[in-house]
Amino acid sequence: MRADERDGPAPVTVVGIGADGWDGLAPAARRAVGAAEVLRGSARQLALVPAGVVAERVPWPSPMAPALAGLLDAHPGRRVVVLASGDPMLSGVGTSLVRLHGADAVRVLPHPSSVSLACARLGWAVEETAVVTVVGRALELVAPHVTPGRRLLVLGSDGGTPAEVAALCARLGYGASRVTALAQLGGPGEHALTGSAAGWPHGVVDPLVVTAVEAVADAGTVPLPTVPGLPDAAFEDDGQLTKREVRAVTLAQLAPLPGRLLWDVGAGAGSVGIEWMRAHPSCRAVAVESHPDRAARIARNAARLGVPGLQVVEGRAPEVLAGLPAPDAVFVGGGATTPELLETCWAALPPGGRLVANAVTVESEAVLAGWFARVGGELVRVAVQRAQPVGAYTGWKAAMPVTIFSVVR
């Protein structure tokens, strides 16, 4: 049942408000604000409400999260209206309040979002435009979306975001991209600034800004897809890297799905966990690595390839696995002969979870064969050969074959 269908009002009403302030509010939103006993919002948002509205005005503290969690207890029995920027359910406070207090406790009256307004100004179809928020998040989240011909909008928390996005695009080899900073959308001070990523001429701009990017690759830039099998050269490594062809087969067996969590045990360069997370923005991964240098390298690879949220856990498995969030899939890239390692990973999986383990030695292959006999699944050997010069001719050089064991619990 929706909050506006219940008997009586919801404890909290969230009203979206734009840069056009009070004049841009729909009648229902104005009535809600006018009937409020308590108004919560940023100082800027509270200032947009006319002085004739007599509600108590309480700005958010910093940090804001505890106040959101305690909002109902802070104003018992009073009509509370929370002001939010644009659409409160698009990377906004409405989403946080629903998550904390439940949908029945929150009534949302949205305003046109900055995304809708930006697409309207640019003539872009909303459903064809990627939207990335870096509010309180790493800028590198933008990286996977920067591919030739892609249009994306970046939501930032301050006026430095357009310059940071432009610099990131240039580093990725997309310096020719067109960047537009759309500020104060919908308000009387609305304006736009444009330039190329490589030659972005503007510094810090208005903090109420959306950054639009039309991605254009520079000559020689090799686009990186989100499907498994990135070039080996995309990763910084010390030789401990699941090679491209084997990695593609391994990830196909792991079957990444939105929202799922992977343990990448013995992660090496972190390639499998990184590609798992690149499959969908909601995919999560924990990379477990015992060597400090490699653990640091995994973090660098993850940030550069657009998945800075990859969790790197330094320690030796299986001991370090205790206490980690339960996985939906586990990949063991090496160390299958380590006592209790596969047993620990198998026990951690829920019904329907996937275990995939690779082996290159006879001893580790024997362990996987034993597991195959015990629990079933699939056992596949992958052999890759690459063409290389042989004198004046070309011949095939074989890489070590890899045995891949995969099973669904």
pLDDT score recorded for residue 10: 72
- Confidence (pLDDT) at 337: 95
Q: What is the pTM of this model?
A: 0.89
For each of the domains in the chain, give its residue range(s) and CATH number, in order of start.
3-112 (3.40.1010.10), 115-214 (3.30.950.10), 232-408 (3.40.50.150)
The three-state (H, E, C) secondary structure of the chain, written as one string: CCHHHCCCCCCEEEEEECCCHHHHCCHHHHHHHHCCCEEEECHHHHHCCCCCCCCEEEECCCCCHHHHHCHHHHCCCCCEEEEEECCCCCCCHHHHHHHHHCHHHEEEECCCCHHHHHHHHHCCCHHHCEEEECCCCCHHHHHHHCCCCCEEEEECCCCCHHHHHHHHHHHCCCCCCEEEEEECCCCCCCEEEEEECCCCCCCCCCCCEEEEEECCCCCCCCCCCCCCCCCHHHCCCCCCCCCHHHHHHHHHHHCCCCCCEEEEECCCCCHHHHHHHHCCCCCEEEEEECCHHHHHHHHHHHHHCCCCCCEEEECCCCHHHCCCCCCCEEEECCCCCCCCHHHHHHHHCCCCCEEEEEECCHHHHHHHHHHHHHHCCEEEEECCEEEEEECCEEEEEECCCEEEEEEEC
- Tens of pLDDT, residue by residue, the chain (409 residues): 444 444 455 789 999 999 999 999 999 999 999 999 999 999 999 999 999 999 999 999 999 999 999 999 999 999 999 999 999 999 899 999 999 999 999 999 999 999 999 999 999 999 999 999 999 899 999 999 999 999 999 999 899 999 999 999 999 999 999 999 999 999 999 999 999 999 999 999 999 999 999 999 999 999 999 899 999 999 999 999 999 999 999 999 999 999 999 999 999 999 999 999 999 999 999 999 999 999 999 999 999 999 999 999 999 999 999 999 999 999 999 899 999 999 999 999 999 999 999 999 999 999 999 999 999 999 999 999 999 999 999 999 999 999 999 999 9
